[in-house]
Amino acid sequence: MSIRLQIRKNEVERYKKGYPLLTKEALARDSRNMVEGELFELYDGNKWMARGYIGYQNKGLGWILSLQEEEKIDKEFFFRKLGEALAKREGRFVSDETNCYRFFNGEGDGIGGMQIDCLDGYYVFHWYSKGIYQYRETILEAFCELMDYRGIYEKRRFKEKGKYLEGNDFVRGERHSDEFFVKENKVRYRVNLDDGAMYGIFLDQREVRRALIERYARGRAVLNTFSYTGAFSVAAKAGGATKTVSVDLANRSRSMTEDNFRLNAIDLSEETIIVEDIYNYFRYAKKKQLLFDMIILDPPSFSRSKKKIFQAEKDYQELIEMAIAVAGKDAILILSTNCSTLKLGKFRQFASQAFKKSGRRYRIVEEFRNPEDFSPMPAYPESNYLKVMIVEVN
């Protein structure tokens, strides 16, 4: 059984071009009886247009799965989509130096609401709605027929507002050991797939970390803010940074960052790890007139600390201003955001306004967007959420 939905005339073109998200605004009238997981048939008048599933995320009401009327949504369908994702990536992301990448990226690979990461033969499924979770068994069956794997884990991200649902994350196969780590550009990173929503590394920053290693970090004293497990600090050291200061609010960041340094045989004596609200740290650093040769800003889109709510869309400029205040001459700033609603134009404007206020000159040296395994969709620009500017300050 599927539900029939009527599209508004002015939305037809967009969906024909492959826009993947079912939004409330696209529907000619509200449908009261949509059930998560249910398939829908989208009609333009009497003309069939698309098929998809209902799944509530903060982004929309569900995802388009097919623009071909005869295409059924069954195990073969999922098998085909997974196979296409594999074919696109095979031989391109795993090497002697790197063994982790995104295997399947939601709508960019034809199934919105589901992502799969590969970590040295272990796979993590991210489910973003109750709707897609209804297809879990079928998708896992198709996956296991297609792929060899050591173990499978999952993250259910549909508690409310896309929050992670606590629970058993191990699915099948073998569990990884406590000593498990992945390699990326020859650097090792600790990964724990059964310890909450985040597992230790954000794979979308691979090219940025590589740039630090190959081109930017040498000889620099680095301040890494929102440092989490210190991945950028470790990459900077691998690229010849003289010392690093890693700042994160969360207590767990200290031991995780130390662990990542040790895993790469980096002596901890030159490395500082500070558990602190970044706003406090910037205030302290300014008062002490500390200066850095490289400052990395990679905040979450949204965070709440005791004192302040940080929202990238509103507060990123202030963050850049604080970073400029502790930037030495010819310092490099790495400005990064994964906030899909903060557009590149606005992000660049934040930088330009922050520098204008400071009276210092700057130059954008390089920019990064989603790497290829995070398959950005031209028909859905928000899918290309990652924006990173590498900026030189005079």
Q: Shortest approach of ligand SAH to residue 295 CB, angstroms?
A: 12
Measured between alpha carbons, how far is 65 from 207 in angstroms, rounded to an integer?
Answer: 30
Cβ-based nearer residue to ligand SAH, 247 or 331: 247
Residue written as token pair 């406090």: 280
Q: Shortest approach of ligand SAH to residue 37 CB, angstroms?
A: 31
Q: Shortest approach of ligand SAH to residue 342 CB, angstroms?
A: 15
Cβ-based nearer residue to ligand SAH, 139 or 294: 294
Cβ-based nearer residue to ligand SAH, 192 or 303: 303
Cβ-based nearer residue to ligand SAH, 73 or 275: 275
Cβ-based nearer residue to ligand SAH, 158 or 202: 202
What length does the chain have? 394
| 40, 21 contact by CB (below 8 A) | no
Q: Shortest approach of ligand SAH to residue 338 CB, angstroms?
A: 9
Q: Shortest approach of ligand SAH to residue 244 CB, angstroms?
A: 13
Strand pairing report for 122-127 and 151-156 = parallel
Q: Please name the residues in contact with 385: beta carbons below 8 A apart, sequence gap of 6 or more.
A: 338, 339, 340, 370
| 301, 265 contact by CB (below 8 A) | no
Q: Shortest approach of ligand SAH to residue 209 CB, angstroms?
A: 8
Question: Which residues of the shown chain bind ligand SAH in the complex (CB under 6 A)?
Answer: 202, 205, 226-229, 231-232, 247-250, 253, 277-278, 298, 300, 303, 305, 310
Cβ-based nearer residue to ligand SAH, 205 or 383: 205
Q: Shortest approach of ligand SAH to residue 254 CB, angstroms?
A: 11
Q: Shortest approach of ligand SAH to residue 284 CB, angstroms?
A: 13
Which three-class secondary structure string do you get for 341-365? CCCHHHHHHHHHHHHHHHCCCEEEE
Measured between alpha carbons, how far is 171 from 193 in angstroms, rounded to an integer?
Answer: 11
Q: Shortest approach of ligand SAH to residue 58 CB, angstroms?
A: 18
Taking alpha carbons only, the member of 386, 302, 301 closest to residue 344 is 386
On the 0-12 / 13-18 / 19+ scale of CB atoms within 10 A, 304 is exposed
Q: Is the dihedral of CA 25, 28, 33, 36 positive or negative?
A: negative
Cβ-based nearer residue to ligand SAH, 219 or 300: 300
Which three-class secondary structure string do you get for 141-186? HHHHHHCCCCEEEEEECCCCCCCCCCCCCEEEECCCCCCCEEEECC
Q: Extract the tokens encoding 64.
A: 């388009």
Cβ-based nearer residue to ligand SAH, 58 or 251: 251
Cβ-based nearer residue to ligand SAH, 65 or 335: 335
Q: Which amino acid would we find at residue 332?
A: I
